[in-house]
Amino acid sequence: MDIVAITDLATSLEVEAPLLARELGTTAYDARQKLAVGLPCVVLMTTDRSRTLALLASLRGRGHGAVACESKAVVASGSMLAVRRFHIDEDALVLEGRGAGGEAAAAPAPDVRVPYAEMIALVLASHRHSFESHDEKKETKFRPVAALASGGVILTKTVKRDVVRTNEDREQVIYIFRRRQPACLLREAVAQYGGLGEAVRPTRIENFQTTLRLLRANATTVPFDDRLVGVKRFPEPPNDPGAPRAFDAETGGVDLLAHLVAMRIAR
């Protein structure tokens, strides 16, 4: 399956919406809704390669930033090389004691070096995780029937009920895309920051920000993008019909947009 996305608009939504609608065979309202979620936005998923190429050429012809890729090229964050224990050298990000599959090895394993020269894009994003919390709430209610039957001795009763709340936890992540190698993913809550040495700070978010700053200071030629931190709505993960579901329902859309952003800024 092919995916076509707009990464940068050369005109306003009002100008582009009717033009995009005509090419997609939808209404101007539907096309505007696609564009209104923010950039990058996925405008087409299709198995028709000729349609992909035609739309891509048309979008670029109107001056927009547009990219296209096959859905199988998008890697789920769970399949990326996880950055846990690490340190930052002058020429590389070093993953300490990682196995070939990215997991910590039972026996000592050699460090994995990720040279800055191999990096093609650093994309800052935010992962959102939803979870439920349960609280027992007690309420006192007046019982008029019981009050009459007991002569006013029993006036109330205590009622217990389960209150379910849906909460959202956000975590900043850095996608590190590389040439001909699996991407790396540095998660704010998973990374261990002891390798920062004297730069270690008291809080997790401070250490994450320090890591990002040091990466950018050393990988000076690697394009960087942070637009995904503020995205409000993400597309559905790119799962082909009949293929096993490899993308997490909550982070798969971020993985897709990060891949598209990397394609754009790496060009």
Tens-place pLDDT, residues 91-110: 999 999 754 445 555 556 78
For the chain, the domains span 2-72, 77-129+168-229, 131-166
H or E segment to which residue 118 belongs: none
Count other Cβ atoms within 10 Å, centred on residue 167: 9
Return the SS3 of 2.
strand
Q: In which band, very low, low, confident or very high, does the pLDDT at 267 lie, cut at 50, 70 and 90?
A: confident
> How many Å apart are CA 85 and CA 136, to the nearest integer?
40
Answer yes or no: is pLDDT of 113 > 80: yes
> How many Å apart are CA 55 and CA 255, to the nearest integer?
23
Q: Say which DSSP state 76 is in.
A: P
Closest CA to 66 of 116, 9, 11: 9
Answer yes or no: is pLDDT of 147 > 60: no
pLDDT value, residue 153: 55
Classify domain 77-129+168-229 at the CATH topology level. Answer: PH-domain like (2.30.29)
The whole-model pTM stands at: 0.81
Classify domain 2-72 at the CATH topology level. Answer: Ribosomal Protein L30; Chain: A, (3.30.1390)
* Ordered DSSP codes for 120-170: EEEEEEEEEEEEEEEEEEEEEEE-HHHHHHTTTS--EEEEEEEEEEEEEEE
